[in-house]
Each structure stands twice: as C-alpha cells, then as structure tokens.
C-alpha cells in the first residue's frame, strides 16, 4: 500500500488521519527469559520440544494480564521499531497450539534479539482471526527480516497509513415508504440490520442516535460498548449498539506523542466529528429543526433510520493505520454486522497488499456488504482507492440544495458563489480588495504567515483554492487583519463549489469568476468589494453534478473492472457532529453545533451503506453482490434537467470513469428485476486470473485449499454489473455474463446496445426469458474494434441495457485502446 496517497488538502475535513497503537496488558513484550526457554526446548527431541514450547506458551498466556508494558517504556523503544502486518500460512498451525494466537506468540518468541544498540523485544499488537490470516506486531527491521525467512510466514508488510475521505438527501434520492418522514408505520425489518462504521468514533449524546421506538437489540448481536476515560458504555442504547476503539498501530507509530495530546484518549468517543457525521448519515434517527447555525434547516435523518449503528474507532488525529483498520474489521465481523462502511482509503496496490481489500473479502464471504469511499484525489485520472470488485466503490455528486453568497465589486459586477458563514455580515459598504502573491508566491494561497498585515488589514482578500484547508485560509486572513475572503477556484477545482462555515465573511467562487475577480483586483488602482449571503436555496439545476474532488478511473489495479461503481450525495451534506470540536475543526473555532455540513466521498459512502441496509432488510436472502448489482444497474445518468450528468471540474459531460454506473436510485434498486450475482468462488477465480501466486491468492481468500484450478482467461470475465473493455494486441474481446431473475415469473427482457462508432457490439441471445423467479440466464457479448477506423482517442464509452415494460437493467461499458491502429 502506498502511504503517500494524497487527500484533498483544500478541504479541512479531508485531511489524513492516522490510527494509534495502544499498549495494553495484552500487548505482551517477549523477554530473554522466554527466548531461553525456547532455545532449551529446541535442544530436546522434536516431540519433547513441542510440548515444552506449548507449556511455555500456556504460561505466557496466563501471565498476559500481569505483564504490562508502560507507556513510557513503549515510547522509549518505539523509535527503533515499526509496526508490521504478518501474513501466516493459516492452515499450517501445529496441532499442539490450541489457538492461532498462541502460535503467533511462539513465532515472536523465536525471534533473535534486536541488533540495535538499544535491544527491544517484539510486541504482539493484534491477533486477527476473521479478517486476516495473521497478526500485527511491533518489530525492528532485523526481526521483520527474520520472520520473512520462516516457511510458515507468507509475507511481512510494514503498516500503511490511510486517510479519511472527508439534510435534504432523502428527498433528493426520492426515498419514501420506510424512509418517509410522514410514514407513521415504518417497516421494522431494517431494525434487524446492523451497520458497522469504521471511522473516528461516535458522539453518543447526539440526538441522531436516539432510540425512541426501537425494538430490542437482535439476540444474535455479539458486540459491545467499551468504556473509556470519556466514554460510559451506558451511553449506548438500542440505536447505538456498539462502540469500540483500536489504537495500537497508531500508538506504535506515534512513539508516545499521543501522551502529550490531551484531546486524544483511548475510547470510542469522537473528537473529530467525521465518524459521527458518517454514522448518522448512514442510519441516524430523525431529528427535527436540525441545521448548521441556521443553514439547511429541516429534519435531519439517515438513510436507514431504523437500522442499528456500531462504531469502530480506527482513525485518530493524525490518520488511520492499516493494523488498526484490520483489527476493527476483524472485530466487526465477529460482532455480527450486516454492512461495513469505510470512508477512508489509501493508494492503489495489489489486492494481497491491500488491508481493506483483504478484510472486505472476509466480510463479503460472510454475507456482509462493504461500502468504501472512492477517494478525493479528483479530477485527476486513475486516482481511485478501494477498487476490489467485492467492494462497492462510491464517488460523490452534488445535491439540488445550495447556500448562495455574493461578491460585489467596485466595478458594479456581482458574482454568485457559496458560503456557510453565519456571523455578522459586512453590509453594503465597499472596502478595499487585495490579491497578494507575496514575495515568495504564497500569498495568493493564504498560507499561514504569508499575508502582510499592513497590506490586508481592513480589506477583503482574494485567496486561491488549494494546498491548505479552505477554512484555514479564512483564519489566516482574519489573523492578518482582513475583514473578508473571496476563495477563488483554480483550474484544479474548476467550477465546483463547496460551502464552508468560515470564521469571517467569505464566499467561494468558481474558476471563471475567480479569474475575473483576480484580474480586477490586480489591474484596478483602487479595487473594492463587499460580501453578502443568501441563506439556503432548493431546486438547484443542474443536479446532480459529479464533484470535481471525486476520484476517477480507470482502475489501475485491475483495468478490466470498471470503477467507481456509483456516485451518491457527497457535497454539502448535513449530519450530526461531535460536541468536542467546532464546525471548521480549527483550534481557533470555539463555536459548537449539533450538526455540520461537510463534503467528500466520505459523505457519499455512508449514503450507500444506509441504502444497502434497506435492501438487506427488504431482501434478507440477497448476497452482497446482488445488493451491489441492484444499486448499480438501476442508477441514473441524467440530471434534473434531463441532460447527461456533468462534471463539476470543467462543466463537460461526465463519463463512467467519474460516475461509474451513475447516481444511485434507491426506489428502483428495491425492485431491480435482474441482478448479476457473484459468489466468493467466483472472486477466487478472478484472483487466480491476475497471475498472483497461490500464496498471494490465499492472502486474500484465506483458504488453505486454493489451487487455482479454476480461473478466468481474462479478469473481465467476472460476472460484474459493468464492463471495462481493453483493446491491445487483439481487436476482439468476448465476455459472458449471467443474470438472475429477482422480479416476476415469466419475465422477458430484450437488449439495447449503445456505443462508439469505432466498436461493433454483438449480444447473443438478444432476448432472455425467465420462466421462474430465481432463474438464471447467460448471454455473451462480443466487442470488435473496427479496422480502418481513425482511432485517435484512447478511450470511449457506451452501455448495454436489458429492459422490459417494468425494468431497465443498465450496464455501462468503458473502452480503452492500449495500442492505436
């Protein structure tokens, strides 16, 4: 995994976060005493030696509660050690070890002493059972190298850092029935569905987690609410039924610096706000009169208001570590969640090196739907995270709600932008306007320390978007004496507007308007401006629009799988917030609010998680892939003006590399007609088609008997609900798909193909007849890149649609030419 994956740094809530690794009594240091015990045992016969080792391990286990490594000692040795995730050959555990945990302890016990000048013993951080075949440990490089030489160890990987991809939404999505605020008798079936949210924790006092009218917690639930210095388990209820924290990886990486941060405590409590926001978006209860300081006023509610929430805190002030994420996923699977929601991610890597992909495979194999954010590295191409085909990869789009604000210039021009500023306004009086690049060229970005107070005092300052957080720019302007800010987009953000709750009067404008304002401020001898605010506006057109920050395809890990899968609402989303932090997240922001408005694929991901919970409740026998297919094939690709979806980055039409199958439509997803179902055996065959070694496939699938005797000739043969066609040395690509009837018996579907003139597409048969519910029918589609065509573009798009009078089952097709001619 690439720990250098870049978040959307111009949005404060999209900064990376790192998990912390906590030393507790079960983080057992291995002393020379135990090494001596092992060396003595090795001098005996094999049988006697194994018995001695087993006895030593049992003794070790019995002492775990007594041996506590102090935080000070941990901090002293952490600098020489790092956290590694160790992939074990799970099925090779000797029978003398009662559990894999004890086997893992023995492996660490057998390691040589540290080669450093300050010898340190290895420390077991986590033993994984459900999500991953192995453990996480604190080791020095020589100990990690020693482990790699062991035949029972398939891989040793240094811990990777993941970043967070940081309400009118139900009405915008067209939700009704169980989701309608006016329905007096909501369907209670979704109360049996549990959504596990891996994030920054939860603020349990939020009204969004009120359990009024909720039935008893399902008897099958095995989770719990953990206590902490600032978290009483009794704060949990029938809505919030689980709250845990995982911090050992973060503690290890931080080298004890967490001890100096009074705002960081080992508990499930959310000190950042992000986790509370995502959890309430997925399954928050209805809260009347919700708003952010008067903006977006109305009833706030999650997608699945009756579903339960279990919070797993794996992200901390400086990021989320893979070892902690994996531990959270492991526990969530064991606790019995039905849906996993992860608004975080890293860079692209092979699936056997991707912590989230591995944990997600184990979850999907147990019938758990996994939804992950696509990332916020757009509009650059090939920037996606979380691209495994068993994961629902979610991009972000806009709502039809806006928060207009205005910049009025001294030349009488009035430009519209957006803002969530809620303090005293500037009035109509014009003040000086300044756009200062500074001597080092950083003043235009309004970086800390870049503005000259003598130049900006009492004026409105134009700040270019990018590099640092948007709200931080306003704080910098205010600190230098400025009275207002115009935040102007550059080419990187195009015309996308994201509203923020600034600390001073401020308005965000698009690139074109920004260029006009920059020109006026730079060329006029006495430029002036003022800023006004317009509150909340509904019915904005066009919408949805693909957010410029939403990460884009193509999929670098497996180009034959089209990603992202869908987009959902991810811009200016109102949801619950932590009482520990102001709406901007800045230290200087002392305001408190129960709700906040945020943007990012972090926000779109829990929308889909909540919708998956609804589908799981309505169709409890559907597999995760069936639910995913229903959401994908019923998505729409036209906005509320009946035009094709547009891209906020440049205002041009969007493509499936940006919006995937389209924008989710939950009402249609409840009755999709047909679904593309995929078994875990199919996913194994897919992995085998990637030229992975058997051990690498086992790292993901956790199956000792994998032989890859069955594999696809092409990874694109996976029964996926979308198509990604690569034309390289061959001009013909042929795929077979299978559809399952989940609609009415006797359904008949006909196919319609749309595509570029450079490709000839043939589908056989052109008609599918499903006599019974549950019937499966296959079709083969042949794509031919035509000879003689002037193929000057390297990519294009189309679709394959199976339809009848009741349903339309749509699959996008992406074409890429790796060789021209």
Residue among 90, 274, 277, 502 flagged as catalytic? 274
**Alpha carbons 304 and 173: distance in angstroms, whole number:** 13
Of 713, 750, 373, give the one whose Cα is nearest residue 565: 373
- 733 token code pair: 């690509």
**Alpha carbons 51 and 370: distance in angstroms, whole number:** 42
Q: Is 436 part of the annotated catalytic residue set?
A: no
Of 238, 231, 146, 154, give the one whose Cα is nearest residue 192: 238
Element (H, E) at 611: helix 601-618
Q: CA 68 from chain center: how many Å? A: 35
Sign (positive/negative) of CA torsion 355, 356, 358, 359?
positive
Q: Would you say 513 and 488 are in contact if contact means Cβ atoms under 8 Å apart?
A: yes
Q: Is 464 part of the annotated catalytic residue set?
A: no
**Alpha carbons 392 and 8: distance in angstroms, whole number:** 21
Q: How many CA atoms lie within 13 Å of 203's alpha carbon, on the beta-carbon side?
A: 24
**Alpha carbons 692 and 525: distance in angstroms, whole number:** 65
**Alpha carbons 377 and 382: distance in angstroms, whole number:** 9
* Strand-pair partners of 398: none
Q: From the CA atom positions of the chain, what is the Rg in Å?
A: 27
**Alpha carbons 245 and 320: distance in angstroms, whole number:** 12
Count how many residues are written for the chain.
821
Q: Is 274 part of the annotated catalytic residue set?
A: yes
CB atoms within 10 A of CB 52: 17
Residue among 254, 602, 625, 629 flagged as catalytic? 602
**Alpha carbons 438 and 61: distance in angstroms, whole number:** 62
Distances in Å between the alpha carbon of 106 and those of 109, 147, 153? Answer: 5, 12, 13
Which residues are CB-contacts of 529 (< 8 A; sequence separation ≥ 6)?
407, 408, 409, 410, 430, 431, 433, 460, 484, 486, 517
Of 237, 190, 555, give the one whose Cα is nearest residue 339: 190
Residue among 199, 639, 647, 677 flagged as catalytic? 199
Sign (positive/negative) of CA torsion 610, 614, 617, 620?
negative
Q: Would you say 715 and 351 are in contact if contact means Cβ atoms under 8 Å apart?
A: no
H helices of 544-583, where? none
Element (H, E) at 328: helix 322-335
Q: Would you say 163 and 314 are in contact if contact means Cβ atoms under 8 Å apart?
A: no
Q: Which residues are known catalytic residues?
A: 199, 274, 602
């Amino acid at each position: 995994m690439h720990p250098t994956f870049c978040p959307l740094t111009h949005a404060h809530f999209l900064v990376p976060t790192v998990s912390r690794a906590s030393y507790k009594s079960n983080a057992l240091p291995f002393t020379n005493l135990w090494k001596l015990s092992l060396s003595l045992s090795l001098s005996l016969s094999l049988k006697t030696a194994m018995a001695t080792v087993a006895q030593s391990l049992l003794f070790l286990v019995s002492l775990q509660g007594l041996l506590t490594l102090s935080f000070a000692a941990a901090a002293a040795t952490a600098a020489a050690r790092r956290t590694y995730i160790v992939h074990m050959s799970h099925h090779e555990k000797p029978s003398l070890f009662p559990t894999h945990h004890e086997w893992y302890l023995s492996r660490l016990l057998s390691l040589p002493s540290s080669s450093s000048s300050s010898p340190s013993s290895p420390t077991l951080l986590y033993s994984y059972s459900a999500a991953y075949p192995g453990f996480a440990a604190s080791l020095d490089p020589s100990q990690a190298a020693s482990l790699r030489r062991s035949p029972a160890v398939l891989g040793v990987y240094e811990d990777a850092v993941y970043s967070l991809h940081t309400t009118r939404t139900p009405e915008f999505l067209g939700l009704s029935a169980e989701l309608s605020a006016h329905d007096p008798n909501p369907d209670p079936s979704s109360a049996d569905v549990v959504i596990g949210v891996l994030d920054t924790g939860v603020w349990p006092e939020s009204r969004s987690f009120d359990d009024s009218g909720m039935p008893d917690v399902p008897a099958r639930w095995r989770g719990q609410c953990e206590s902490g210095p600032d978290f009483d388990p009794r704060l949990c209820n029938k809505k919030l039924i689980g709250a845990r924290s995982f911090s050992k990886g973060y503690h290890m990486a931080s080298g004890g610096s967490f001890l100096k941060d009074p705002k960081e405590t080992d508990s499930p409590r959310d000190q950042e706000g992000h986790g509370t926001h995502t959890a309430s978006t997925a399954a928050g209860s209805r809260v009347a009169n919700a708003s952010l300081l008067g903006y977006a006023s109305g009833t706030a509610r999650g997608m699945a208001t009756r579903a339960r929430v279990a919070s797993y805190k794996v992200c901390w002030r400086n990021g989320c570590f893979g070892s902690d994420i994996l531990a959270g996923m492991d526990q969530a699977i064991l606790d019995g969640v039905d849906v996993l929601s992860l608004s975080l991610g890293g860079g692209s890597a092979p699936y056997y090196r991707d912590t989230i992909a591995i944990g997600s495979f184990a979850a999907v194999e147990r019938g758990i739907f996994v939804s992950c954010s696509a990332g916020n590295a757009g509009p650059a191409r090939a920037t996606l995270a979380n691209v495994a085909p068993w994961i629902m990869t979610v991009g972000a789009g806009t709502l039809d709600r806006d928060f207009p604000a205005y910049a009025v210039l001294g030349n009488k021009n009035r430009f519209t932008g957006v803002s969530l500023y809620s303090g005293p306004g500037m009035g109509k009086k014009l003040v000086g306007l300044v756009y200062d690049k500074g001597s080092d060229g950083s003043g235009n970005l309004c970086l800390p320390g870049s503005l000259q107070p003598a130049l900006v005092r009492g004026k409105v300052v134009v700040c270019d978007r990018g590099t640092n957080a948007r709200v931080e720019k306003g704080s910098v302007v205010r600190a230098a004496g400025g009275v207002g800010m115009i935040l102007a987009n550059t080419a990187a953000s195009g015309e996308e507007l994201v509203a923020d709750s600034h600390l001073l009067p401020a308005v965000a404008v698009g690139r074109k308007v920004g260029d006009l304002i920059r020109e006026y401020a730079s060329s006029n001898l006495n430029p002036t401006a003022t800023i006004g605010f317009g509150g909340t506006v509904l019915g904005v057109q066009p919408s949805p629009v693909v957010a410029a920050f939403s990460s884009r395809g193509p999929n670098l890990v497996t180009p034959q799988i089209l990603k992202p899968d869908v987009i959902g609402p991810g811009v200016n989303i109102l949801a619950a917030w932590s009482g520990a932090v102001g709406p901007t997240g800045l230290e200087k922001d002392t305001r408190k609010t129960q709700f906040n408005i945020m943007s990012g694929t972090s926000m779109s991901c829990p929308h889909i998680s909540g919708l998956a919970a609804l589908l799981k409740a309505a169709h409890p026998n559907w597999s995760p892939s069936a639910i995913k297919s229903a959401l994908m094939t019923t998505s729409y690709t036209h906005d509320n003006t009946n035009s094709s979806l547009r891209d906020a980055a440049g205002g041009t039409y969007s493509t499936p590399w940006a919006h995937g199958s389209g924008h989710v439509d939950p009402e249609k997803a409840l009755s999709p007609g047909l679904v593309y179902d995929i078994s875990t055996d199919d996913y194994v065959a897919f992995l085998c088609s990637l030229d992975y070694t058997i051990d690498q496939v086992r790292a993901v699938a956790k199956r000792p008997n994998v032989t890859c005797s069955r594999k696809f000739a092409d990874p694109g043969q996976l029964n996926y609900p979308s198509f990604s066609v690569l034309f390289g040395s061959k001009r013909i690509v042929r795929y077979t798909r299978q559809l399952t009837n989940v609609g009415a018996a006797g359904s008949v579907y006909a196919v319609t193909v749309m595509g570029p003139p450079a490709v000839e597409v043939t589908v056989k048969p052109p008609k599918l007849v499903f006599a019974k519910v549950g019937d499966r029918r296959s079709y083969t589609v042949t794509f031919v890149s035509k000879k003689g065509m002037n193929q000057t573009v390297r990519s294009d798009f189309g679709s394959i649609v199976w339809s009848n009078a009741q349903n339309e089952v749509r699959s996008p097709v992406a074409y890429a030419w790796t060789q021209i001619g």
